[in-house]
Structure 1
Amino acid sequence: QEIMQIFCQDTRLNISSVYLRPGYSFGGSCLPKDLRALMYRAKEKDVDMPVMSSILPSNNRHTQRGIQIVERLGRGRKIGDARLEL
């Protein structure tokens, strides 16, 4: 925890400590695209990258788990002024 606090104090390279803390799956197109490109290059060079190759499957599992939780809570459930839909 102490090391994490030190990393989170860096405001020059790290614009927000949120990015360094574990949480829900990532979204968007850039990170998956860049990760796939990196894995492609590694494969071209015959470099095994087991940790990197586990990131997208892990992220997908996190997303699916989130969907299951939402479905279990009930579709169309009102949260504040918004309605939850899938």
Structure 2
Amino acid sequence: MSAAAKVAGIPPEPTGAKRAELLRALAAANPGIVKYEDKAINAARNQCSAINSDSSKADSAASQRFTYKDVTTTEAQGKQINEALKGLGFCKA
């Protein structure tokens, strides 16, 4: 992982059980986003920068970050995603 990613609070890419746990948590918020596993993992890692900076727009950022191809994520789902990422402790880089 790069120093810049660490400074931004972006965790390393999860593997094995941690990856499966993350995908399950994301699917609970919006089942569509895990159709593209790598996109979902990258979006989750990048979302940590919004969470770790206590952004007041974190829910909105999540809805945008997890909207791609034929998947749309609402701000309410973005809030669920943020809560899931916090609950897992995923963003503790």
Q: TM-score over 0.5 for the alignment?
A: no
Range into which the TM-score falls when normalised by the shorter chain: under 0.3
Normalising by structure 1, we get a TM-score of: 0.26
Structure index of larger Rg: 1
Q: TM-score, normalised by structure 2?
A: 0.25
Structure number with the bigger relative contact order (C-alpha 8 A, sep ≥ 6) is 2
